[in-house]
């Protein structure tokens, strides 16, 4: 199974999710989203597939936003505001907090 993780190697939850994917036998593509940020459209697609509102996918310390469009604009402009890790497989997309949620995708 193939998986993509939008990953921050400095984040313990992101590292744990990556380890769980690898332990589960996934062929993982790692995207360090702070170096290679997703586009606004890609974020919108991922959150729609995950059944998440973009407002609910912002980091807790991100500036307040008025709605989902503003949240997507903020995340596209400042990827550090994206809650992590975000994981996608053929089975779906999960915001892997807690990291064990990636098991649903394997």
Active site residues: 11
Between the alpha carbon of residue 25 and those of residues 4, 6, 12, 94, 103, the distances in Å are 13, 18, 20, 17, 11
Look at the block and give the residue holding tokens 């991922």.
46
Tell how strand 2-7 and strand 92-95 pair up. unpaired
């Amino acid at each position: 199974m193939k998986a993509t993780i939008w990953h921050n190697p400095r984040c313990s939850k992101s590292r744990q999710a990556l380890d769980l994917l690898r332990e589960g036998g996934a062929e993982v593509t790692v995207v360090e989203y702070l170096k290679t940020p997703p586009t606004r459209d890609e974020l919108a697609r991922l959150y729609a597939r995950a059944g998440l509102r973009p407002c609910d996918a912002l980091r807790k310390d991100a500036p307040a936003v008025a709605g989902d469009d503003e949240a997507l604009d903020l995340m596209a402009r400042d990827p550090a505001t994206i809650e992590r890790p975000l994981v996608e497989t053929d089975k779906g997309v999960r915001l892997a907090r807690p990291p064990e949620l990636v098991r649903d995708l394997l």
